[in-house]
Structure 1
Amino acid sequence: MMHNFNSDPFYLTRSHEFDWNGNESAGNGIQHVDSADITSLFSMHNGIKASNASGSLQFGGSLGQFEKWDDPIVADHTSNHNEAYVKELEMSQKRLLQLDQALEKARHQAAKQRHSIGRDDAFDRAHARWLGEHERLMDELRSSLLSGEGDDTTVHLLVDAAISHYGDLHGIKSKGAGSDMFHILSGTWTTPAERLLMWLGGFRSSDLLKVVEKQMQNLSLSEEQLVCIFNLQKSCQQAEDALSQGMEALQHSLTLTLSSSSLARPSSGDVVDYASHMATAMSNVHTIQSFLNQADLLRLHTLQQLQRILSPCQAARALLAINDYKARLRALSSLWLARPKE
């Protein structure tokens, strides 16, 4: 495969690799290839034309044109000169082949990095295990309520286990955000319908309370409980609004920082300014990770408060209502993906 080297100077990374923190590991160094060398090499190759019919050898470029000379000394000199150019061409072709192979290797490494961006296999596996255990807990909770054999103590223990399991999810997501915050924020580890309603890496606590509200007529709530749930929903909305406004401010700041004219391809005189802007952008990204953590804490705190307001059986039905709501979203995603394609 041949490439057009008649362009600006470029750089080839031979075997440089970068860890996930952006640090450069040991390698063979960066080879700078000047396009002038490549251009002259191709000019030399295209300029040499041998004609067996006329017995003349023509060189393009500034070398001019030489007719065939019958002088044996001159002919021998021309032959030696020709052999030197042939050897030089062979060396140049070998060098081009090596450069081409290095370029292909660099492209392959870049493709692997692009493929891995936005993925966190360790988190996805941990979340899948959590989801399986969560479904088991919900089945136990449902069976206990349907059978009528579970007393308040038994149901209370099952609700405690379910809330504690949500705490485990917070830990898994916190660890995942430390590894790849954008993966958690994007919600690509959930189904399409769940992503549609996602807010900062999960559901809004106020929305989940609305799901519980739909079940209130079946929960036989007291007036005091209704007031407590109303106040809890109001405080959740206030906290969500504050986090949303903070995220909007961060996104605006990040846009302004990265759109700065000094972040164009930095010259030697702009390196300090470039580094300063990028440091500000990195600080914004770290703050977004903090917002993700606060949103997960709000979700966990809401479930814990709901447990304190409700009786064990009421809390169990509330958790099952939330679980059924999420299951319907997953079912909707499956139906959507399985729809007939036009």
Structure 2
Amino acid sequence: MLLLMQNLGSASSAMEDNSQKTEDTSTEDNIDTDHKNNQTLRRLVQNREAARKSRLRKKAYVQQLENSRLRLAQLEQELQQVHQQGVFVANGVAADRGHSVVGNGALAFDMDYARWVDEHQRLINDIRLAINSQIGDNELHLLVDGVMTHYNELYKLKSIGAKADVFHILSGFWKTPAERCFMWLGGFRSSELLKIVRNHLEALTDPQLMAIYNLQHSSQQAEDALSQGMEALQQSLTETLSSTCSTGAGNVAEYMGQMAIAMTKLASLETFIHQADLLRQHTLQQLNRILTARQAARALLVINDFILRIRALNSLWLTCPKEY
């Protein structure tokens, strides 16, 4: 009997120990589960916060682009108004005095160039729509020829503008500041545009690639020759203007003689701009002969898109906040 009582006590003690262990295990499992749930909840909160910040950044970026677009449109409108007012004033003064005023030629060129850009964009849009609609090569060839002819009109406008104000054309003040960073002798380098076209056109044959490379090389050589000529002209002008710095009464005749020589040398600037435009014109014509009608159309789109991106970059730079 005593032994039975001892056994029953041992069994009861074992059951109590097992019960305690079960409770401890259950508590630990609950703690682990709560910890995991807390981690999951924390990750969910972090993910939601990251997504919210991402949406806010995207919204701010889109708003900045929209503000830049509106600001660009406002700037273009203001510029157009200034041009119109400037030409009106210039024409009024010219009518009063019986002759054109200084700067009227530059203003006239700027307005003609603005109209040229609008028409050029319309022609480019026609080509873009034509490519997307898969029209025939004959019709596409006519559209390409229209853009090529339009480029010839630009070179004529620049020739007239250079006669009126060669410095205005040379400096590129008729373009955006960002475009002026890429300018060379009143325009873009043909060799650089060829490089862009070559890298972005697809399905070019080996003979086409070689022809474009050779055209790029010859354009680069012609550009180098013109650049050396400009450097020589600048050096010659420096020597002429610095031969004597005295402007006393006894040196008036010498001074005027030097100015006359400098003016004669300066007149060759117009020739350099004309030769640079002839090179650009020749390069476009040669590229058009190398490519098929569809490839030539895409090449014109590539060039136009590159220039549009420079203008967009200029607009964004002007409107973005600067840190000092």
Q: Does residue 141 of the first structure (1) align with residue 127 of the second (2)?
A: yes
Deviation, structure 1 residue 257: 1.1
Distance 1:215 1:118 in 2: 41
In the aligned structure 2, how far is the partner of 1:118 from the partner of 1:204?
28
Does the 8 Å CA contact 1:119/1:183 hold for their aligned counterparts? Answer: no
Q: Deviation string for 1:219-256 (max 9, x for gaps)?
A: x1111111111110010000000000000000111111
Please list, as runs of the form range in 1=range in 2, the aligned pairs for 1:254-265 lying within 5 A after superposition: 254-261=237-244, 263-265=245-247
CA distance in 2, matches of 1:117, 1:337: 26
Structure 2 length-normalised TM: 0.67
Cross-structure match for 2:169: 184
Letter in 1 for 2:142: L
Instruction: Name the TM-score, length of structure 1 as normaliser.
Output: 0.63
Q: Distance in 2 between matches of 1:122 and 1:264?
A: 39
Deviations 1:264-307 (A, max 9, x none): 3242x423322221111111211111000100111111000000
Contact 2:123 2:147 in 1 (8 A): yes
Give the percent of matched residue pairs that are identical in Structure 1 and Structure 2. Answer: 56
The residue type paired with residue 282 of structure 2 is: H
Q: Which has the larger radius of gyration?
A: 2
C-alpha contact (below 8 Å) 2:194/2:216 kept by paired residues: yes
Instruction: Give me the whole-angstrom Cα distance separating, in 1, the residues matched to 2:153 and 2:318.
Output: 30
More helix by share: 2
Q: Aligned to 1:241, which of 209, 224, 231?
A: 224
Shift in Å, 1:341: 3.4
Gaps of 5+ in 2: 1-96
Q: Is the 8 A contact 1:118 1:180 kept in 2?
A: no
CA RMSD, 1 decimal? 1.7
Please give the secondary structure, in 1, of the residue aligned with 2:184: coil
Q: Secondary structure at the match of 1:120?
A: helix
CA contact (8 A) 1:118 1:183 kept: no
Please name the residue that 2:160 is paired with: 175
Structure with the larger strand share = 1
The 1:118–1:278 alpha-carbon spacing in structure 2 relative to 1, beyond 3 Å, is: farther
Amino acid at match of 1:323: N
Aligned counterparts of 1:279 and 1:242: Cα–Cα separation in 2: 27
Give the 5 Å matches for 1:1-342.
Answer: 120-148=106-134, 150-216=135-201, 218=202, 220-261=203-244, 263-267=245-249, 269-342=250-323
Give the aligned residue type for 2:107: D
Instruction: Please report how far the alpha carbon of residue 260 of structure 1 lies from its aligned counterpart in structure 2 after TM superposition.
Output: 2.0
